[in-house]
Amino acid sequence: MASIEAYTISVSDENIERLAQKLKYTSFPDELDEAGWSYGAPLQDVKRLAGYWKEKYDWRKQETQMNKLPNYRTIIHVEGFEPLHIHFVHQRSQAENAIPLLFSHGWPGNFLEVEKLLPLLNGGGETSPAFHIVAPSLPNFGFSDGVKRRGFGLCQYAETFHKLMQKLGYTDYVTQGGDWGCMITRTMGFLYPQHCKASHINMVRGGKPGWTSHPILALQHATTSYSARDLDGFARTKWFVEEGSGYRFEQETKPQTLGYALADSPVGLLAWIYEKLHDWTDDYPWSDDEILTWVSIYWFSTAGPAASLRIYYEAVNAKGMHRIRTQQWVPHVKLGLAHFPKEISVVPKTWGRTMGPVVFESENASGGHFAAHEKPECIARDLQQMFGKGGGAYGVVEGKNGYGKISSRL
């Protein structure tokens, strides 16, 4: 693992002071009476969070906690682009034959989404499968470098992560992801099926099965009435399309214009992200520290908060894999689906099965978009069942079935 360095997150005092000054001189908008969440993030909430951010929030304390994770950094060369320093968390299990797993976050998430999974998937070895976990900050996000040239689309994100796994010595591996992490890991399976052996995703966006492309699924769909879960899912999806997806059109079409606001105003960034943390989760009890740490990672990010928006533009404009293609059939790579009722789109199970050769599926009673953070026990359970003995992806990585004695040293 040459040229892989331990990495310490360390934001400069100057940047922390600059944030304090920005917060000090914030101008807030007015708000209509009884607006609630209908118009976006409520003024009362944003003022409270901004005040806490300015007066009491301790970035250094959070930074110390983040640095307890096994953080690393290395350079990845993506074809046609400048070399990129990629930050990643890398937890190696002490279990013999642990399964290499690439975990990918999305927007407005970050690498900390993997944190709660680490203790749940590290052990086992003899009774349940264990995993070596690699969780990068996406290029343009967190503490990875930003990209300086246009055209860095899903294929390039996939190339970055595939090359990272190869560099770590994981020739073959499996993946887990939601949001952009779902689309990136699906792209990895499409481009590198000889190495990406299976994927588990928690954002299921398949389409209605067609009689030509999926005749068996189409027959099942045609002869089965929609369940209460399906009807609730349609309502949730309708809400997102009609009331919750305006951000996507702006980020997908004119990310630079929005970027000026987010790069200059920490409270603007806070409101932009906080709305999603509220709307996309299933009554998750966010603490102020959690919210502000997620927002601060964007504010203090290596490339700046505006850079993270560009994935929306590039995923529909760059050559190669369009984001819509990731919702369609990807062959050869075994697929696991986790359904959560407060995901931003919820489709019938027959629709999800049009995405690939499904070998595992779970239906969860609660949970939303940030499943690894909201419901880590559900994601860990899925991975252990999918890749465990008797699971549909057991032994998919040759010589690494997740079982074996616990070694006293790595």
Q: Which of the following is catalytic: 105, 200, 369, 373?
A: 369
Cβ proximity of 160 and 187 under 8 Å: no
3 near 75, Cβ under 8 Å?
yes
What tokens does 277 get? Answer: 């943390």
Helix-then-strand count for the chain, H and E:
16, 9
179, 279, 282, 382: the catalytic one is 179
Which residues in 229-365 belong to E strands, given as ranges? 334-339, 358-363
Nearest to 134 by CA among 83, 62, 65, 76: 76
Among 257, 297, 294, which Cα is nearest to 274's?
A: 294
Residue 313 catalytic?
Answer: yes
The number of angstroms, rounded, from the C-alpha of 309 to the middle of its chain's C-alpha atoms is 14
| Percent of the chain that is helix, strand, coil (3-state, to 5) | 45, 15, 40
User: Helices (DSSP H) in 135-227: which residue ranges?
Assistant: 154-167, 180-191, 215-222
The whole-angstrom separation of Cα 36 and Cα 311 is: 31
* Residue that the structure tokens 């966010």 belong to: 286
Catalytic residue, candidates 7, 72, 313, 403: 313
Please, which residues bridge with residue 362 across strands?
A: 338
**Residue 287 φ/ψ region, left for φ over 0, alpha for ψ in the -120 to 50 degree band, beta for the rest:** beta
* CA distance readout (Å), 235 to 31, 112, 168, 216: 28, 30, 43, 26
For 130, residues 6+ apart whose C-beta sits below 8 A from its C-beta are: 93, 94, 95, 98, 99, 121, 122, 123, 124, 402, 403
What is the DSSP secondary structure assignment for residue 347, as one 8-state letter? Answer: -
- Assess whether 369 carries a catalytic annotation: yes
Strand 173-177: give its sheet, edge to edge: 4-6, 71-76, 84-91, 131-136, 99-104, 173-177, 196-201, 334-339, 358-363
The separation between CA 305 and the C-alpha centre of its own chain, rounded to angstroms, equals 16
For residue 193, give the H/E element and its range.
none
Residues taking part in catalysis: 179, 313, 369
